[in-house]
Structure formats: structure tokens, C-alpha cells
Structure 1
Amino acid sequence: MDLRPYLHISPQVEHALSTGQPVLALPTTDFARCLPAEEGLALARRTEIEVRAQGAVPAPVAVLGGALTVGLSESEWRRVCSGETGKASRRDLPVLLANGGSGAATAAASIIAACLAGIRVFSAGAIGGVAAQSDRMDVSADLQEVCKTPVAVVCAGVKCGCSPLLTLEYLETMGVTVLGCGTDRFPGFLTQDGPALENPPQSALQLARTARIKWDVGLSGGLLYCARPDGAARLEPQAYEQAQRRAMDEADRLGVRGGARTPFLLQKILQSSEAARGAYEKAVLASARAGAEIAVKYAQL
């Protein structure tokens, strides 16, 4: 299969992959869909600096001009964060690639791109999970991608409106290994920890070895690794629940559904307070730091 018409890898990322350097894939929706352009760019720069400080090469993913792009230049980052591009998840990729479209990549699309490029570790501030609605159970495309694509996914929880407990139950049913990066709890995105994990905290080396062994023995799919941000950086549960409830009520009132709902909810929560924006930045950076550490250990195996 010739992916060259659809996949563009930046020279820096291409060189790192060809020489066996550790590479960490990143989604661009963490920076482009929920923050003002300059704030998103600033956080993107801080995240890339954090990844490099741990010894890995950052590989942010976006769809630009009909190409699944892995590794962005400054001008490409500005384009993605400007608001000119939409959202690119799994279902959007064929349309965008066929029609020369552009979009900020979700976790699902970024995991796909990482796999195609040969990158084994990906990190995001949070991924989509299982959202229990009154009339249905909604399973995010992010979560389904974790189940079937051989990439180790590092995150600091599940996105707004999703249940950590239901997400863990779904992953258990699908046979996905879930481990903590130095924690034995499933992190609560922006707020307190969620359910306990079955296994004790793992080091970056242990997590890298677990992923390598899973794939060496022929087990399909990915793994989910949980990064815990500094507790002082997280919101009080009541403040988070109130902000989330207000955002969900507004989304219902305005009829915001489908792929637009999650970024809408997060944007409203981040607008609610300086503490919420600080907690979000800490979650993104904690995941990137842990992901880069794992990527470095994986490259050394």
C-alpha cells in the first residue's frame, strides 16, 4: 500500500523515525478547538518543549490540504490554531483526504496517523470515553481507536461529559490493558481522581516493556496509560461539576450535538475560570511528559 499521496511526515519527524529516535504523536484538537488562537499556540509550544526536554521528538498531527500531516511547522501550527480548519476524526478522514480539506486531528485520527507513520506512543490531555445519556450509551471514536490500533495512548482522563467508571468497564470488556504512570487511580480530567486501577503504579520502562511484549506476542490493539497531573492543579469536584452542568445545559439548549459537542463543552468549561484553564494546561503537559518518557524507554528496548 502506497501512503505517500495521503501521508506527509515532516523532515524532522522522518529523520527521527529513520534513525530510531523516540517520537511522540500529539493531537492538534487539544490546542485548536477549545482555546483562543494565541493561547492554543502558546500551549502547543510549551508541550513541544516539554516533549523535547524528556528526549523525544514531538509529532503533532493534522489534516492539511488533503494530507494527513505528522509534524507541523510554525506556520502550519498557526493555520491549525487560527480557527480556519474544522475537526478531523476517523469518520472525517476519507472526506478530507479526498477533497483536499483540512482539520485539527482528534485523538482517534492522531492514533491512526501515528500507526501509519510507525509511531508507537501518543499522548493527549484527555480522550473521549463512554458518555451515559438518558436514552443511549455513547462510545467515543477515540476509545474505539484505542481498542483496535497498536499504539500506546497516554492521557490524563476522559473528556467532559464522559464517565471514568463506564470507560474502564468498556475497556475491560474490549480486553484493553489500562495502567497508571506513577499512579494507581484513573485520573479525573481537570478534577479529582476517578476509580482505582487493578494494577499498582508503573514506571515508564515497565509501561514501554508492557506495550512491546503485547505486540511481540501478537496481541492486537492498543493500551491506555493514565498520567496524573499535580493534585494542586486540579479543580475542586463541585466546581468542575457545576461548570460541566452549565456547559451541558447550554449545549442542549443550543442543540449542539455530534462531533461539535465535546469541544463546545470543554471550551465553555475553560471559559468559566482561570483555575479551569490552569488545570487543563497541567493535564496536557503531564500527559506529554509521561508519553515522552515512555517513548524514550520504548526506543531503547
Structure 2
Amino acid sequence: MISLGSRVEAALAAGRPVVALESTIISHGLPRPDNLRVAREIEETVEVAGAVPATIGMIGGRLVVGLTDAEIEHLATADGVVKLSVRDLAPASMRKADGATTVAATAMLAARAGIAVFATGGLGGVHRDAPYDESADLFALASAPIAVVCAGVKSILDVGATLERLETLGIAVLGYRTDRFPGFYLRDSGFGLDWSAETPAEVAAVLRARVSDAAVLVANPLPLDEQIDPALHDRVLAEGMAGLARGRITGKDVTPYLLAHFHAATGGASLAANIRIILRNAELGARIAAALA
């Protein structure tokens, strides 16, 4: 059972633009107290750009599309908030858990609620040196008819293999004002794109022309002067991969380990880049939603 927040319900009924937002970045992606401040900034950015924000999460086992500010604060400050992918939603609901939705769960729930645009930071993908380890994000997006504004996939992943998997799953990728696929912290991951769009109106036209139920990824890179220094990035990534091997860290623990390592080893530069990414994507998502509406 999905509950709509009152503002989101009214906006959808009136045909006004709405942008879905994930809650994992609030509970698991950013440190306290930055997480609550940034969550509010994200919603404000969407509003200023002309759309209604719909942060998605679970409160006491109830899935909510359009959390209130008090509910967002609860997920940002409470202990024991569960990270929820698609497979976790039903068991967590049974347990009446408080939960934060991942990209996969947020995209699926937003699409079911009738929301056309979802803004996030970066996607999960295929892990380096572990081709059997793939994020549920990829498979969820294959059946979620929604535009996902992101900064590509996290550069700690196997970007080439992830792009191949996106192609296999029929998920279109548009570069926003670029023909290069971004690598989250980096403007250019080293891989090119077949398609790009120059304006929110062009993205909206692509969405109107879509004939499949797969998502459309809108890859929005950081400006060149806002990315992490590539030499620093590569050094920190190599150190992090070596740390994984030493600690025999695998599976779902890999990404949190590497992101924490980046934060510590870059003196907070990666966290600052992460925040810039999500705010830029929230603004672009709102402009696309407005163009589509």
C-alpha cells in the first residue's frame, strides 16, 4: 500500500510537475547533521525550479510518496532506519519498520504513483572485479517508465560493464549537454554516449516518444571546475581497492566502504561534490518535469 503526501497527491491530480527523491541519501548517504540540512535544500531546490518534491520512504511500515518535513527529519535523525531496495519493501512493511528507499525502490514506487521524473546522485552498477555483483538499480530501471536524472554511475564501479548492462536492459542514456558519460565525482568516465539533449524540453520530447517501460537516464555531469581532481580520484580509488582486498570486503559492504574511504582520503572533497551533484540534479529534474507537464 502506497500513501501519497497531501501536496504530492494534489499536484498529481492537477497535472503539476512532481520530482521524486530518494531517502537513502538522508539516512545512509550523508553524515549527521548535514543529512537533514541537505535533504531540505534538495526539496527547496525542486520547489524553486518549479516542481513539487516527493521524497519517498517508509514510516512505521507505511510507504509514503511525499514525506512531510517531520517525517524527513525522523529518517535523518532516528537510529535503526533500514535501507530498502525493492526486495525489502514487503518484509519491512510487515515489521512496521522505518526505512529509506534506494534508487531501485524509489524509481519503482515513483513510477507506480504516476511520477515521471526522479532526481538522484549516482546509480549503482556492476562492481569492479566482481561481474556477478550488480546493483538492483539496473534491473529495477528496466521496468520503471521514469526519467532518472543522475551523475552517471559511481566511479568506484566498472563503468564500461555497467553501460553494457544498461544497453542489454533497454535503458536509454542521454547525456545532458555532453556526449560523454559522467563518472559521478568525475565529469568524464572515459566512455562516450550515442545520444544527448541540450534542453529540458528536448528531454521531455524523448520521454513523450518512449515506447517501452524502461527508464531513461539523463546523465548530468558536474562542471569541470567542480569535479574532484582526477589524479587525486585515481590515487584514492586505487588505495580503496587495495583496502577492499586486505579486508576481504565483499558484497553490499563494498560501496559504503569505498565512499567512506573517499570522504576521509579527500578531506571531505568527495562529500562536497556529492552534495553539489544532488542539488544540480534536483534542479534539472524539476525543469524537465515542468517541461513535460
- 1:3 is aligned to none
Report if aligned partners of 1:130, 1:140 keep a CA contact under 8 Å in 2.
yes
Report if aligned partners of 2:184, 2:221 keep a CA contact under 8 Å in 1.
no
- 1:246 is aligned to 239
Report if aligned partners of 1:146, 1:224 keep a CA contact under 8 Å in 2.
no
Picking from 118, 122, 129, the partner of 1:126 is: 122
- 1:97 is aligned to 93
Q: Which amino acid aligns with 1:104?
A: A
In structure 1, the gaps of 5 or more residues are 1-5
Distance (whole Å) between structure 1 residues aligned to residue 132 and residue 230 of structure 2 = 23
1:270 deviates by 2.2
- 2:227 is aligned to 234
Report if aligned partners of 1:176, 1:223 keep a CA contact under 8 Å in 2.
yes
- 2:145 is aligned to 150
In structure 2, the gaps of 5 or more residues are none
Distance (whole Å) between structure 1 residues aligned to residue 67 and residue 243 of structure 2 = 34
Report if aligned partners of 1:156, 1:286 keep a CA contact under 8 Å in 2.
no
Distance (whole Å) between structure 2 residues aligned to residue 254 and residue 23 of structure 1 = 43
1:42 deviates by 1.3
Q: Which amino acid aligns with 2:168?
A: T
2:274 aligned with 1:280, yes or no? yes
Q: Which amino acid aligns with 1:105?
A: T
Q: Secondary structure at the match of 2:183?
A: coil
Report if aligned partners of 1:86, 1:103 keep a CA contact under 8 Å in 2.
yes
Report if aligned partners of 2:61, 2:95 keep a CA contact under 8 Å in 1.
yes
- 1:170 is aligned to 165
Q: Secondary structure at the match of 1:221?
A: coil
- 2:62 is aligned to 67
Report if aligned partners of 2:197, 2:203 keep a CA contact under 8 Å in 1.
no
Give runs of ≥4 in structure 1 deviating > 6 Å.
none
Report if aligned partners of 1:122, 1:153 keep a CA contact under 8 Å in 2.
yes
Closer, same or farther in 2 for the Cα pair 1:200/1:118, shift >3 Å?
closer
Closer, same or farther in 2 for the Cα pair 1:201/1:18, shift >3 Å?
closer
Q: Which amino acid aligns with 2:288?
A: I
| TM-score of the aligned structures, taking structure 1 as reference length | 0.90
1:78 deviates by 1.8
- 1:265 is aligned to 258
Q: Which amino acid aligns with 2:273?
A: A
2:175 aligned with 1:186, yes or no? no
Q: Which amino acid aligns with 1:283?
A: I
| TM-score of the aligned structures, taking structure 2 as reference length | 0.92
1:120 deviates by 1.1
Q: Secondary structure at the match of 2:254?
A: helix
Picking from 135, 140, 147, the partner of 2:135 is: 140
Closer, same or farther in 2 for the Cα pair 1:71/1:264, shift >3 Å?
farther
Distance (whole Å) between structure 2 residues aligned to residue 256 and residue 27 of structure 1 = 26
